[in-house]
Homo-oligomer: A and B are copies of this chain.
């Protein structure tokens, strides 16, 4: 294993990405530049909570223990020799769109670019779990990364902690959850979890733990910081709110072009272009409004639906000959019948922001 791998993209500039935060590093993708299903690695958003861990392949190992028949420790070389699979998956940051919340919410002020799609190659988590052997009563699988530190702004961390998230057993055992070591055919960049990260298709990005170093099977619901103090939502149980981890991505669409405040020539035809996605369902329909949500028309869905992957769409707009400001909106419907809502739910805290957003453009 070549140590050179490790620094493969360390020297790259953040060119093409928008810096939301330098330390920890949070970079937003230019959603306006959307051009096909796959987001190039150089344009893929980066979400980190602490400093990027400096991991070399010879020193890396992954342990799998807890409520299992036998503890396992596996090296990078051993991992990549296991049967692997390649899948395409869209990953959205749970806070994508936070800047559009009113009142303003704390946290990274993502606009539309906390999302991207890549082709990931890795070993199904279920392969390792089968090797370890689940004990009766196994309930969740906790994934922990090597990234760690202390947050002193509320919600404060209890001292130094690392990043950990759990998956229910049903999701953890589904073949699509992989321990990925390639991203669009290249070794993971250091910002993307080198050498190995989890990919949890259909779930918001926080579940796809980067710099993975430990897998722990537990027999109790895991109540770690990153699914209680942060990345938590309120679910209703007989009408009463109960705290639950943020999990599946919600049905959503975004307009990539035109961009905000773009000027469009009156009387022309303009191709409105964007993407739509839903966590574990498929996109059935996208509608577009050019009058701020009064009237809606069906957009044209492009290509084929890949599982866990956004669907690109377009809408040929007959631009009015009358100059003025117009409010464009898109609205996705998935094949379970869920429609993108018009308002943010307070039960989602400052996450899962998927309501329809007006895009103000100028025709003149």
Q: Which residues on B sit within 8 Å (CB–CB) of A223?
A: 242-244
Q: If the complex has contacts A221-B221, A228-B228, A228-B232, are A241 and B347 also in contact, measured as CB distance less than 8 A?
A: no
A220 (CB) vs chain B CBs: closest residue: B221
- Additional A-B contact list (18), CB under 8 Å, known A158-B234, A161-B240: A106-B154, A144-B240, A156-B346, A156-B349, A157-B241, A158-B347, A159-B241, A159-B347, A161-B241, A221-B221, A222-B242, A223-B242, A223-B243, A224-B240, A225-B243, A228-B228, A228-B242, A229-B243
Q: Is A250 interfacial (CB 8 A cutoff)?
A: no
Contact with B along A207-229 (1 / 0, CB 8 A): 00000000010001111110011
| B221–A243 touching, CB < 8 Å | no
A142 (CB) vs chain B CBs: closest residue: B240
Q: Which residues on B sit within 8 Å (CB–CB) of A232?
A: 228
Closest 8 CB pairs of A and B: A228-B243, A158-B234, A223-B243, A223-B242, A158-B241, A158-B347, A158-B346, A224-B242
Q: Is A90 interfacial (CB 8 A cutoff)?
A: no
Q: Is A282 interfacial (CB 8 A cutoff)?
A: no
Cβ-neighbour of A159 out of B154, B346, B349 (below 8 A): B346
- CA of A228 to CA of B154 in the docked complex: distance in angstroms? 14
Q: Which residues on B sit within 8 Å (CB–CB) of A243?
A: 223-225, 228-229
Chain A 309-364 interface residues, beta-carbon cutoff 8 Å to B:
346-347, 349
Q: Is A89 interfacial (CB 8 A cutoff)?
A: no
Q: Which residues on B sit within 8 Å (CB–CB) of A224?
A: 240-243
A155 (CB) vs chain B CBs: closest residue: B155
Q: Which residues on B sit within 8 Å (CB–CB) of A159?
A: 241, 346-347
Q: Which of A158, A222, A229 has the most B CB atoms < 10 Å from its CB?
A: A158
Q: Is A191 interfacial (CB 8 A cutoff)?
A: no
Contact with B along A101-113 (1 / 0, CB 8 A): 0000010000000
Give the shortest distance, in Å, between A230 (CB) and chain B (any CB): 11
Contact with B along A142-173 (1 / 0, CB 8 A): 00100000000011111101101000000000
Give the shortest distance, in Å, between A98 (CB) and chain B (any CB): 15
Q: Which residues on B sit within 8 Å (CB–CB) of A244?
A: 223
Q: Which residues on B sit within 8 Å (CB–CB) of A346?
A: 156, 158-159
A242 (CB) vs chain B CBs: closest residue: B223
Give the shortest distance, in Å, between A344 (CB) and chain B (any CB): 12
Q: Return 29 A-B CB contacts under 8 Å, by A number.
A: A154-B154, A156-B349, A157-B241, A158-B234, A158-B241, A158-B346, A158-B347, A158-B349, A159-B241, A159-B347, A161-B240, A161-B241, A162-B240, A216-B238, A220-B221, A221-B221, A222-B242, A223-B242, A223-B243, A223-B244, A224-B240, A224-B241, A224-B242, A225-B234, A225-B241, A228-B228, A228-B242, A228-B243, A229-B243
